[in-house]
Amino acid sequence: MQHTDSFVRADQHRALGLSTFAFTVCFAVWTIFSIIGIQIKQDLGLTDTQFGLLVATPVLTGSISRIFLGIWTERFGGRIVFPLQMMITAAAVWMMTFVETYEMFLVVALGLGLAGGSFIIGVAYVSRWFENKNQGTALGVFGVGNVGAAVTNFAAPFLVVALGWEATAEVYAVVLAITAVVFYILAKPDPEHQRRQASGEVHVSVAAQLAPLKNLQVWRFSIYYFFVFGAFVALASFLPRYYVGAYGLELTTAGILAGLYSLPGSIFRAVGGWMSDKWGARFVIYMTFIVSLLVLFLMSYPDSHYIVQGIDGVIEFDISVSLSLFVTLSIVLGFVMSLGKAAVYKHIPHYYPNHVGSVGGLVGMIGGLGGFILPIAFGILLDVTGIWTAPFMLLFVLVAVSTLWMHFAIRNIERKQNPDLTIETYT
């Protein structure tokens, strides 16, 4: 791992600041369908399943692209790959304004999805500027770029109302292109890339970069990220639709309330990185899953009318989650998910310092696939069950399974490290 002796703190701050800003803009673009998609749904008369697929398609590209974008970043450096990725994405966003059919929207959404691949570029680039003891905090700060989802939820509804969804897309494309140019001009090659160029060192082969992917541990980290990141992206896209349908709110109000979920799910990622540096990533992930189970249980409870045979006759009562309670629960969920996202990526440069791009790319890909699969699953559940809270029931099951797998995996590791310990020691 590269240490900080060969460069100044100002260079660290420059790399972290530019990467975080660029990632924020990319993430705002990546989630744009959560807002303009509602208008497109109405214009094209889409079902909830079709809408879920439209919202999820950019996440598919953003997820799969993380593997090769991570490898390219290790080979060519973030200063080159990051601006290139942003310019290609900006072109796709601009092309969207010329599309008229649902099928073509899906095609363009694939190109727009490259915005999501920006995460692994930034992780590979930023991690090379910081020593191991500070990487959790640095990557946590970088992960604050998830706030781009909140930016879209807060700002895009008003742009759509004032300008229309087509002009909103054009604004996003221009901002992204400008960000690409600014990043290229101001950013510097990372120290490891400079060292390799100066020494003439041969690039590590793709096979060598992908070798750690055979470790089960890497896939376990990926499943954690499937929830803390994939579900975060899915809910950031789904909540505006949920508020409009379940509570009958206007789009602008729904966007603001969804932004209240996305905001803590983004800005507190830096806190999660600091907590992971101080108390360990394992502790933070445990806390994330336990709190999420409690919150999702309440969020998944459908409006219900009960008839109970009491001592003195029939008793009738209703149970429902009020709008204010639901919003509060969503904020809590977003907060603990932000901590979990930072904790997962604290593991990667620690265990795989020479394969951050490939390992981080796989973890990011699996996590991102959660953002692709879950919106589709949400739409199917709504169409099949007709219950607005069914998506939260699915997430509850997902977290329960992840928690149990993590717990037993950790116990198994501890037994191997301490073979004299018995089962009773853990009970």
Give the domains, in start order, of the chain with CATH numbers: 4-194+203-426 (1.20.1250.20)
The CA distance from 169 to 164, in Å, is 9
Return the residue matching tokens 């946590």: 140
Q: What is the DSSP letter of 227?
A: I
Determine the pLDDT at residue 1. Answer: 42
Among 331, 260, 255, 363, CA closest to 32: 255
Q: Over range 265-292, report the average pLDDT.
A: 83
Q: Over range 282-305, report the average pLDDT.
A: 90
- pLDDT of residue 201 exceeding 70, the answer is no
Return the residue matching tokens 């470790």: 215
Q: What is the DSSP letter of 203?
A: P
Q: Are 73 and 79 in contact (CB under 8 A)?
A: no
Mean pLDDT of all residues belonging to the chain: 81
Q: Are 153 and 27 in contact (CB under 8 A)?
A: no
Beta strands in 190-233 (DSSP E): none
248: left (phi over 0), alpha (psi -120 to 50) or beta: left
Q: What is the pTM of this model?
A: 0.67
Determine the pLDDT at residue 212. Answer: 60
Tokens of 244: 């409009």
- pLDDT of residue 420 exceeding 70, the answer is no
Indicate the burial class of 199 (C-beta count within 10 angstroms; 0-12, 13-18, 19 or more): exposed
> pLDDT tens, 371-387?
778 888 888 898 888 88
**Per-residue pLDDT band at 293 (split at 50, 70, 90):** very high
